[in-house]
Amino acid sequence: MSVTTETARPFSFGRFMAEQMRNIAPVFTLIVLVIFFATQAESFRTFDNFMNILSQASITGIIAVGLTFVILTAEIDLSVAAVANAIGILVAYFTIQPEYVNIANIPVNGLIAIVLTLVACFTIGLVTAFGVVGIGIPSFIMTLAMMQIANGISAMLVRGQIAYNFPDLITAMGSGSIFGIKWTIIICIVFMLVAHLVLTYTRFGRYVYMVGGNREAAEYSGVNVKLIIASVMIIGAMCSGIAGMLGVAYFGSAQQNQFDTYLLDAIAAVVVGGTSLFGGRGGIGNTIIGLLVLGVLNNGLDHIQIDSFLKILIRGIILLAALVINVYAQKLKESASD
């Protein structure tokens, strides 16, 4: 037996392209967008603008990291933005507010506020996980309910008011910089790095991919599928919560409905990047590309003369194209491995 023949069949360019479709298409899209905007707008191709894109994408990025785990197991979490909002408001609720902010809050020490908020966030994840694996509610519906519940918590806590103060650590991390780089960018990169290492090099990561790839097979191989799915739902909630805490500091205020656009952005980033909606394929690398595609698109459209209403339509069309490629790539991959 020869060791050099790594594949059983002769190399085929067509099959390689078919298998790599989901990775190639987003990178190609990103390159095309960057070239387009760079040639159209001088203000786009500056270092400051590049950092601006990263900074805009960083909060979405942290949410998208958690969502990547969820989507890899072929589940979905629609509550991410609402949870981020509720957790952002909760951390403000535990902080002394200016006198003119009329909220019946419970100020505590900054670090304790952060810990309490994280516990609350974990609890939300636990409730979602219980609903999905314990009761058996499809994640699509369960997280829709959790979205409403989280929005309800937000509303109850701020009652239409706006909170401005947060624990010092959160303010520093959310709005501060180091060596001219926003902390949120660094934190987002750390989250991505850790998530990538977990997904690629740990047993848990392998289980996430296998459960997403063929849930039944994972179960018949003795994998605790429920535990894995519960874990990714909790990871999703925790990432959202941390993004929410940083996000309110990034915005400088905490109020109702502040994260509404983040749900679609985070899902779009994961899917545009090429992570399969059917689970088991993709990863953090894909999510990074997806974030950059959306970030460049959002930012670039501001730099060229374009109707701001048309912008929304263009985003929708890009997302639809990504979904088509996502489903098409899945079929190509399946037929290529037959």
Regarding beta strands 177-178 and 181-182, do their DSSP bridges make them parallel or antiparallel, or are they unpaired?
antiparallel
Taking the complex as a whole, the smallest distance from the CB of residue 200 to other proteins amounts, in Å, to 8
Longest Cα pair distance anywhere in the chain, in angstroms? 79
Taking the complex as a whole, the smallest distance from the CB of residue 75 to other proteins amounts, in Å, to 18
Taking the complex as a whole, the smallest distance from the CB of residue 128 to other proteins amounts, in Å, to 20
Count CB neighbours of 306 within 10 A: 13
Q: Which is nearer to other proteins, 5 or 308 (CB)?
A: 5
43 CB-near residues (< 8 Å, 6+ apart)? 49, 303
Taking the complex as a whole, the smallest distance from the CB of residue 327 to other proteins amounts, in Å, to 16
Q: Which is nearer to other proteins, 211 or 263 (CB)?
A: 211
Q: Which is nearer to other proteins, 165 or 330 (CB)?
A: 330
Q: Which is nearer to other proteins, 140 or 220 (CB)?
A: 220
Helix (H) or strand (E) holding 313: helix 308-336
Residue written as token pair 């309910």: 145
Taking the complex as a whole, the smallest distance from the CB of residue 160 to other proteins amounts, in Å, to 45
Residue written as token pair 């429920």: 226
As given in the structure block, the two tokens for residue 326 are 């996502």
247 CB-near residues (< 8 Å, 6+ apart)? 59, 84, 88, 174, 258, 259, 262
As given in the structure block, the two tokens for residue 329 are 């790539």
Q: Which is nearer to other proteins, 39 or 221 (CB)?
A: 221
Q: Which of 184, 203, 212 is nearest to 283 (CA)?
A: 212
Helix (H) or strand (E) holding 271: helix 260-272
Taking the complex as a whole, the smallest distance from the CB of residue 54 to other proteins amounts, in Å, to 30
Taking the complex as a whole, the smallest distance from the CB of residue 337 to other proteins amounts, in Å, to 4
Q: Which is nearer to other proteins, 52 or 213 (CB)?
A: 213
Residue 276: phi and psi, rounded to 5, are -70, 130
Taking the complex as a whole, the smallest distance from the CB of residue 24 to other proteins amounts, in Å, to 17
Taking the complex as a whole, the smallest distance from the CB of residue 242 to other proteins amounts, in Å, to 22
Q: Which is nearer to other proteins, 195 or 292 (CB)?
A: 195
Q: Which is nearer to other proteins, 104 or 135 (CB)?
A: 135
**CA-CA distance, 163 to 150, in Å (whole number)?**
17
As given in the structure block, the two tokens for residue 15 are 């099959």
**CA-CA distance, 79 to 92, in Å (whole number)?**
20
**CA-CA distance, 292 to 220, in Å (whole number)?**
38
Could you list the residues that contact other proteins (CB under 8 A)?
A: 1, 5-9, 201-207, 210, 213-214, 216-224, 226-227, 280-281, 333-334, 337-338
Q: Which is nearer to other proteins, 224 or 261 (CB)?
A: 224
Per-position DSSP letters for 92-142, written without gaps between them: HHTS---TTS--------HHHHHHHHHHHHHHHHHHHHIIIIII---HHHH
3-state secondary structure of 177: strand
